[in-house]
A and B are shown apart, each in its own frame.
Chain A
Amino acid sequence: MDLLTALSLGQTALELGLICGLTVLALFLSYSMLNVCDLSTDGCFTLGAAVGAVVAIAGHPLLSIPAAMLAGVCSGFITALLQTRLGVDSLLSGIIVNTALYSVNIAVMGGSSLLNMNKTETVFTMMRELLRDTPLAGQYTLAVALIAAALVVGLLVAFLNTRLGLAIRATGDNPDMVRASSINPVFTTTVGLCVANAFTGLSGCLLAQSQKQVEINIGQGIVTIALASLLIGRAFLGKGSILTRAVGVVLGSFVFRLVYAIALRFDMPAFMLKLVSSVIVIIAISGPYLKGRLPMLRRRLTAGRGGSGRRGA
């Protein structure tokens, strides 16, 4: 692998890592902070992509951003409504919304499962025009991704340090305490999921526009990929201030894409992406669990040997 390939590999990983890092930041809010595993993420990602594409194709590339985020908010609101007001289990409400979004997404795309944006003006083509004749001319994708990631990290960190943000963190950290305090957990859960899904929608919108197309399966498995990134990020920068941790999860997203890109170079077929991300999530979650069980397992093994010996005697 020569230097140029390595650089281009790193750049692609960085772009993808930053854009999908927005979804990781969304999970950082819903999964790490609010302690809700939001399984509507896949559908919401596609929803953001679809809505963003439709608005961009209609000739409003800038408007596509808030539109995709608003769509995410709506999706998050429904997921929250199901679990806070209608007695649907938290995991199940995500799954249900995810399923429903499949239909919604195809409807948004006008009954088609593929939208092409080859000749559409998007935020990326706008950035390309903006950077033309500057030294950064070729870096428009990276520029958009960097700005988006920086803005979302900034917003999220500021948000989590407000009183509302603290209340959301407390809801995930100690639900008992929140129930007995004047914080309404229904409110905090709803706001948290709406904000998180706005980021997920934005992430989908940007990925679709950077790839110049939306395909109905664009978001499939993104929740696992994002979880894998989140857990990798936690391994690097899991402790410290909210800012450190937020930067950590974006870094995790980049590292994940980088490792994946390198694996592709070594002839791992592209379709392995989802298996790899699943395995990473399994290792990251069950690793610490098994480590905790280790002393007990060891005891049982020794006791088992000793026990059978005694029985034999």
Chain B
Amino acid sequence: MLRLSHVFKTFNPGTVNEKRALTDLCLHLAPGDFVTIIGSNGAGKSTLFNAIAGSFDTDEGSIELDGKDVTFAPEYQRAKSIGRLFQDPMRGTAPGMTIEENLALAAGGGGWLSKLSRGDRERFRERLALLEIGLEDRMRQPVGLLSGGQRQSLALLMATMVPPKLLLLDEHTAALDPSAAEKVLRLTEEIVAEHKLTTMMITHNMRQALELGNRTLMMDSGRIVLDIGGEERAGLTVEDLLERFRSGAGKDLDNDRILLSD
């Protein structure tokens, strides 16, 4: 589904601020994989997502998505197969446009000159009702009036409106209050299961990293230092994970936001 081969990325090369963000990174995801990613500060987790999504050009290596080489494809082209959510709930929706207009953009389909039809509205209403936060009755209100949790739920719905080949979740519940985070996370699980989406999720919650999905990656200094799945992962505790990280990276996990338990 996704294959990264020897990907390198250095920011500000040749200056004092040179930062090797990704170093010889190789990764292969099978269809339906749900991978959780944890790592220290500046380990390159978001950079990895940016490389996959095409937010910048990589220096070396190749990226293959769903059997196609997308190494040189621009971001908007890759976005046709990638759904992406950011930590900031403001990033995924257009505040000045109504809920239904946002959904219409996400739904795509039809020609450039096609308009929102009654059928589209019905479809949006049904999808919105699944969120169970009453957005289906506010479809003509601007998104700017919604709370962070509501906006992130909407963004999740938009990112998966047309089921993507790959879903990238960059700590998408981190900026929400606990109950909203819980809700959005549950929703994520439902949607991922419903469409059997191949998913990558960055989290700083160690327990989440072990409980969700079928595979866990740990990153440090632009490398994947630990990649565990299957039965090996099933019996793992947070302490085991930290120990494994220490032996993999040769140092302690230093993420100032990491949650060891809840």
Contacts and interface: CB of A to CB of B under 8 A. Distances in A.
B148 to A, nearest CB: 15
A173 B116 CA distance: 19
A170 B76 contact: no
Interface in A135-194: 161-164, 166-167, 169-170, 173-174, 176-177, 179-185
A174 B102 CA distance: 11
Given A180-B75, A182-B77, A184-B76, A162 B112 contact: yes
B80 interface: yes
B229 interface: no
B246 to A, nearest CB: 35
B74 interface: yes
B49 to A, nearest CB: 10
Chain A binding site: helix, strand, loop or mixed by DSSP?
Answer: helix
B105 interface: yes
B101 A184 contact: no
B94 A163 contact: no
B91 interface: yes
B80 A174 contact: no
B113 interface: yes
A180 B77 CA distance: 10
B175 interface: no
B108 interface: yes
Interface string A69-80: 000000000000
Nearest to B108: A182
A170 B115 contact: no
Nearest to B78: A182
Contact of A179 (B75, B95, B102, B112): B75
Interface string B225-258: 0000000000000000000000000000000000
B105 A176 contact: no
A164 B113 contact: yes
Contacts of B90: 174
Contacts of A166: 97, 101, 104-105
Given A170-B97, A174-B95, A181 B79 contact: yes
Contact of A177 (B74, B75, B91, B115): B91
A236 B75 CA distance: 40
A221 B55 CA distance: 39
B96 to A, nearest CB: 4
Looking at B55, B75, B105, the one whose CB has the most chain A CB atoms below 10 A away is: B105
B76 A183 contact: yes
A163 B113 contact: yes
Interface of B: 53, 55, 74-77, 79-80, 84, 86, 90-97, 101-102, 104-106, 108, 110-116
Interface of A: 161-164, 166-167, 169-170, 173-174, 176-177, 179-185
Given A169-B96, A179-B55, 20 more contacts: A162-B112, A163-B104, A163-B105, A163-B108, A163-B114, A169-B101, A170-B94, A170-B102, A170-B105, A173-B95, A174-B90, A174-B95, A176-B91, A177-B92, A179-B75, A180-B75, A180-B91, A180-B92, A182-B79, A183-B76
Ranked 8 nearest A-B pairs via Cβ: A164-B112, A173-B94, A182-B79, A184-B76, A173-B96, A174-B94, A182-B80, A170-B94
30 contacts: A162-B114, A162-B115, A163-B110, A163-B111, A163-B113, A163-B114, A163-B115, A164-B112, A164-B113, A166-B105, A167-B112, A169-B97, A170-B97, A170-B102, A170-B105, A173-B94, A173-B95, A173-B96, A173-B97, A174-B95, A177-B93, A177-B94, A179-B75, A180-B84, A181-B79, A181-B105, A182-B77, A182-B80, A183-B105, A184-B76
